[in-house]
Amino acid sequence: MPVYYPFGVFLVYVGLAGLLMEVMYDPVLLARSYRIQVVLIWFVLVLFTVFTIAVPLANYPIHVLGYIQSLAHQNGDIVDGIPWQSEFTEVKIIVWNETSANYENLDVFIHLDGTAVGAALVSGKAGECCRLDPPDIINGEAYIGHGTHAAGFHMAVDGKEQRLQILASDIYRLTCRNLPPYSSIGISFLEGGMNGETDDLTKVNGIVIERGRIIGMGPISSYERFDVKKLGLYGTFNARFKKVYTDQLITLQ
């Protein structure tokens, strides 16, 4: 439906312009009191103003709050499905729709300061309509939004493609069929760097997506802490037949 939005708005304005011309030059109205004509002209102008404010000029923001969770965890505690390490930083974000409009087909990328070894949807009544995933790896490339791809790692065993687990990624894709009015979705990330074998392909058992690259990674030997300060969120959603683009840089609190 958003594909036809500009054309639909154009047709409404053409209709209002035709109605205004009819009111101004219709012979039947010209033969009557000019007061009737003035009232009708004002009525058309009011319709024009109301439509312009309610549709083309309508603002449909999507709000994002990001913060660092300060709760203490012990090494080995399971946090969002991942055993906790002291080098991890737990980052929470809340994405919410505080308007009366229903947001549909939300498709946004969340770009982190550092790689996340775990990510999960944690709250919000819209959660059952949403998915959070790292980029899909297709033919050695991962689509990471803004028309760009991460590439560079290719692995085949006995001439066959080897599908490897994504161990960590600094970008995730959030998709929601529906984000109802005045609703929100919460997301948790465990950010931390991984150190492991990257040179010997026979030991590679997973991949890391970082700064536009796909890196083969062997058994993890240690973790490192990132200086986490911000994250980016960009993508699209539909609101009342209108396709809305968002591109935000959020400073973590």
Q: What's the token pair of residue 177?
A: 């069929």
pLDDT of residue 207: 85
- Cα radius of gyration (the chain): 26
71 to each of 94, 158, 178, 222, how far by Cα in Å? 17, 47, 31, 22
Distance CA 176, CA 103 (A): 9
For 71-112, the pLDDT digits (tens) are 788 888 888 778 898 999 999 999 999 998 999 999 999 999
Give the residue-averaged pLDDT of 37-46.
Answer: 86
Only one residue has tokens 């109205």, namely 29
The residue length of the chain stands at 253
Q: What is the pLDDT of residue 185?
A: 92
Please indicate, yes or no, whether the overall pTM of this predicted structure exceeds 0.85: no
Per-domain boundaries in the chain: 2-54, 63-251
Strand-strand pairing, 63-68 and 89-97:
antiparallel
CA distance 94 to 92: 7
Spell out the residues 6+ positions from residue 164 whose beta carbon is closer than 8 angstroms to its own: 137, 155, 204, 205, 206, 207, 216
For the chain, count helices (H), then strands (E): 3, 19
Element (H, E) at 87: none
DSSP state of 52: H
Average pLDDT value over all residues in the chain: 85
Please say if the pLDDT value at position 1 is more than 60.
no
Mean pLDDT of 205-220: 84
CA–CA separation, 186 and 65 (whole Å): 10
- Cα torsion at 132, 138, 140, 144 (round to 10°)? -40
Note the pLDDT tens digit of each residue in 146-158: 778 777 776 665 6
Return the percentage of the chain with pLDDT > 70, whole number.
91
The answer to whether residue 127 scores a pLDDT higher than 80 is: no
CB–CB of 231/250 below 8 Å? Answer: yes
CA distances from 243 to 3, 147, 197, 237 (A): 8, 17, 44, 6
- Say yes or no to pLDDT of 170 above 80: yes
Q: Is 165 left (phi over 0), alpha (psi -120 to 50) or beta?
A: beta
Q: Which two tokens stand for residue 230?
A: 């911000």
